[in-house]
Amino acid sequence: MSLAALTPAEVRHLLRRCSFAAVAEQVERLQGRPLDAVLDELLHEDASGSFRAADPAMSHREVQQWWLQRMLEGPGIRETLALFLNSYLGCASAPVQPPGALAGRVQTLRLCSLDSFPRLLQRLVLDPATMMQTGIDGHDRERVSDRPAKIVLERWTVGMGGFSGQDLEDLSRAMTGWKVPPRSLPSQVSLPYFDAKRHDAGGKTLFGESGTFDCAAAVLIAARRPQTGERFSRALLEELGVFDPPGALLGDLARVWRDTEGSIPTLLRAAVRSDAFWSPAARWQVIKSPVRVAVGACRQLGLTSAPEGLVDWLVATGQPLFDTPGNGERPWPRGAQWLDPPDRLARRYRLSRLLPLPGTLLSDSAADDWLARLDPAPGLEPGLRRERRRGSADAAGRIAARILDSAQYQLA
């Protein structure tokens, strides 16, 4: 493909994979421009917006609704990266009190999604909601637990088998001393504080480096390891629909990781510029996650607020916002796992009932209009055109519903 001027089909492919969906107005605006310029625009979209600030008093359901709304309104790449990071790093909402604290975690993921991955981990490890999940809260020099360090090493950085017993022990010691104080009000999110008396300030050795590391310094050492970069790069490639990356591409990403200290946007740019990303055989080979289906549909329909039932629809289809499987120990599923069992597919096919769809016939080419707007995989056209010929007052809405509740709409 030419990176100099993207065709409409190429813009749609890019948006499907890097954002929630191809939105017609965006495709119109970006077509004909070079890939780098398009990426520059997408990576620098304004993230501030007029969005309602997070309220710590929100219930679990309200904070789910809050995040959904954020994904509806925010810049596509930043919001999808935050969603990916929540999954990659794992999340369990049950230990987080008040649930509104989860909004702070999402904000950390969003803000750092276009920064370096090691710096993101440094910030995240001391995010109050994350501290409640990892158990770092209250972990002190007299009662050292290896659970927080295991999460950092096994899940966030080098992975199983990538560290020694001493790395685990000394990272555990470095992570001592942090505390989230008791809340004075049920709806209050307490800010963590560092108590030097509870911290083990002795010498430590991590991955061959010796010093009196504190939590941030120790996490950074693990986060900068090449294995951390390799694991993260592979996961990012899978997120973009590149499932069997060639060795050369992995080598490119390893160099980017080293040269940029793990810059997430630079890694993403390198992945998107690869031949593997644009391979014709790889088009339409991603089975979208429920969040991508739902938020993508809302964005394509131009909805400015998330329909009420969508939070429940996400739970029913297997992707409750925040909670990843195994009590936060595993990422969300991928590909065919989303449809196992098939009951999940039946639930997906009810999306159209939740969305406001026009009930009047727009034009003789309603089927073509909807196909262009909702961008399903090929194969639906003949059936939809028959629908149009039958003609009735609500044909347009019915056509849109048939696209949204189709096998083709589940693909990117």
Which of 32, 49, 379, 391 lies at the binding interface for another protein (CB under 8 A)? 379
- DSSP code of 357? -
Residue 251 touching another protein (CB under 8 A): no
Q: How far apart are CA 376 and CA 345, in angstroms?
A: 16
The site map against another protein for 305-324 (x = CB under 8 A) is -----------x-x------
Which of 350, 358, 372, 373 lies at the binding interface for another protein (CB under 8 A)? 350
Number of shown-chain residues binding another protein (CB under 8 A): 33
Pick the stretch among 129-137, 261-269, 378-386, 388-396 that binds another protein (CB under 8 A).
378-386
The site map against another protein for 259-298 (x = CB under 8 A) is -------------------------xxxx-----------
Residue 381 touching another protein (CB under 8 A): no
Whether 35 and 273 have beta carbons less than 8 Å apart is answered as: yes
Coil, helix or strand for 179? strand
Rounded least distance, CB 106 to another protein, Å:
21
Whether 136 and 175 have beta carbons less than 8 Å apart is answered as: yes
Rounded least distance, CB 15 to another protein, Å:
18
Q: How far apart are CA 366 and CA 331, in angstroms?
A: 39
Q: How many degrees, rounded to 5, is the angle at CA 322 between CA 80 and CA 51?
A: 60
Residue 25 touching another protein (CB under 8 A): no
Pick the stretch among 151-159, 300-308, 358-366, 401-409 that binds another protein (CB under 8 A).
401-409
Write out the E strands in 157-252. Answer: 178-179, 193-194, 204-206, 209-211
Rounded least distance, CB 349 to another protein, Å:
5
Rounded least distance, CB 180 to another protein, Å:
22
Give 207's strand partners. none
Residue 243 touching another protein (CB under 8 A): no
What type of residue sits at position 164?
A: S
Exposed, middle or buried by CB within 10 Å (0-12, 13-18, 19+), for 120? buried
